[in-house]
Chain A
């Protein structure tokens, strides 16, 4: 029962929270050590914020509720930290003369795989990973992409989002498979 069982629930939830952030950071291309450090920091931050709810009896119904809440908080925290760190870093090869700037040249192994995909897969991944359309200012969500792809559909926004999400995951799975076939670790490419 919250908050009396906080300590027990925390110990139970911690591995799941740590894992969720660690895996998420590895997929963003972070090194193992860096991902582990960030996962630990984010999980502790989530615990700290959960502790702020200790004054509200019953705020968390169950330990599963606490775990899910902590995963969301920790993931958001780690994403913010990761973005800030990334903004502070200079891109690899920035000091080399005549550096190529087009995305196709910079990431040609990925690009080669990308162009092997069908048109539908390319379009959805393009919108998700390289948003440059006016409609997608800010972070592209599945709902927003769904409205662009299937705008004439009568489905609800949530349904469009679900449909887009499923198509995106399938396209991503095909791209991953292609990358692995070429000996490329998808984790190194933020995929």
Chain B
């Protein structure tokens, strides 16, 4: 924190003029710099205290201005910043330690919108000076909270879906993300949902490890063909109990969750489906789908990052990236 020569010189000039009973205006073109200095004082207590100490050093106890701003002016400054003060008022304000300290406290307590940018800049400066950075959002605690939150939403959605009895034709999305148990802890829908991969001849042992799978890749089609299993019924759960330990989420090439959500109860029995359809959705179905997908997108992004961090080279990953590159 350094006092600028400009501020020191200006305060000295104003004090001298004031002692002579002159109402000296701010020097031409200096208003911007004065406002900048005052804003810094009002959001940075160290800078303010330094300024008050300087005033005390120069004036002792002989303050000319020591009353707080009157209520309408104080309110106007809080709402609109310092632009509401004319040059003379701004100069007096600069020499008034009581008004400065009282207004600084008001700003601190109320965090008024007009001061938000100054407070934000002060925050950035603090972080920089203290050698700190903005921690990434996707730390474990936040991820866990997101998953819990979607779990709560999902429970209520599941109840609604039961009532709606939605049933649509099955269409698998382009890709599938599978993450381990901790990503879907306490989460019922949409992550305890299992896409019925057996309709494409895919089996759970092919997806036993976390990774990002390209369902349209040649490799997976070839493996599916090798298995040549009988095609099961559309609504048969694939993973059974095993499923609850996996987060499975179909999504499209652009990363958005699409497709199909199958709602299961704890026994693994399907209670409803939601997904692409060969007929238009009703308004109610659309709203349910929108809410489900909105809630899923952020979790999917976090889960995807997590999988990439934890398993940079998953050995069963058919496609490592969203671009669907075959392994």
From A3, A32, A44, B295 is in contact (CB under 8 Å) with A3
Report if B152 contacts A (CB, 8 A).
Answer: yes
Q: Give Cα A6–Cα B141 distance, bound, in whole angstroms.
A: 15
Contact size class for B?
35 or more
Q: Give Cα A76–Cα B73 distance, bound, in whole angstroms.
A: 30
Report if B294 contacts A (CB, 8 A).
Answer: yes
Q: Give Cα A32–Cα B116 distance, bound, in whole angstroms.
A: 23
When C-beta atoms are compared, the residue in chain B nearest to A176 turns out to be B101
When C-beta atoms are compared, the residue in chain A nearest to B117 turns out to be A16
Q: Closest Cβ of chain A: how far from B15's Cβ, in Å?
A: 16
Report if B265 contacts A (CB, 8 A).
Answer: no
Check A36/B108 contact, CB under 8 A, given A23-B45, A44-B141: no
Report if B153 contacts A (CB, 8 A).
Answer: yes
Q: Closest Cβ of chain A: how far from B51's Cβ, in Å?
A: 10
Main secondary structure of the interface of A (DSSP, over half): helix
**Segment at the B interface, from A87-95, A99-107, A125-133, A179-187:** A179-187
Contacting pair A172 B102 (CB below 8 A) = yes
Contact size class for A?
35 or more
Q: Closest Cβ of chain A: how far from B3's Cβ, in Å?
A: 15
Report if B88 contacts A (CB, 8 A).
Answer: no
Question: Which residues from A are CB-within-8-Å of B68?
Answer: 169-170, 173
Contacting pair A19 B297 (CB below 8 A) = no
Report if A177 contacts B (CB, 8 A).
Answer: yes
Question: Which residues from B are CB-within-8-Å of A173?
Answer: 68, 97-102, 105
Q: Closest Cβ of chain B: how far from A41's Cβ, in Å?
A: 10
Check A16/B116 contact, CB under 8 A, given A26-B45, A52-B145, A173-B101: yes
Contacting pair A54 B97 (CB below 8 A) = no
- B144-178 interface code vs A (CB 8 A; 1 in, 0 out): 01101111111000000000000000000000000
Report if A30 contacts B (CB, 8 A).
Answer: no
**Segment at the A interface, from B124-132, B205-213, B216-224, B226-234:** B124-132
Contacting pair A64 B116 (CB below 8 A) = yes
Report if B28 contacts A (CB, 8 A).
Answer: no
Q: Closest Cβ of chain B: how far from A110's Cβ, in Å?
A: 15
Interface residues of B in 74-123 (CB under 8 A from A): 97-102, 105-106, 108-109, 111, 113, 116, 119-123
Contacting pair B132 A54 (CB below 8 A) = no
Q: Give Cα A32–Cα B291 distance, bound, in whole angstroms.
A: 44
Check A15/B102 contact, CB under 8 A, given A54-B295, A57-B295: no
Q: Closest Cβ of chain B: how far from A28's Cβ, in Å?
A: 12
Report if B135 contacts A (CB, 8 A).
Answer: yes
Contacting pair B61 A4 (CB below 8 A) = no
Interface residues of A in 39-55 (CB under 8 A from B): 40, 44, 47-49, 51-55
Report if B38 contacts A (CB, 8 A).
Answer: no
Top 6 nearest A-B pairs by Cβ distance? A15-B123, A55-B153, A19-B123, A173-B101, A173-B102, A51-B145
Q: Which residues does A use to contact B, with CB under 8 Å?
A: 3-4, 6-7, 10-11, 14-20, 22-24, 26-27, 32, 36, 40, 44, 47-49, 51-57, 64, 67-68, 71, 165-166, 169-170, 172-174, 176-177, 180-181, 185-187
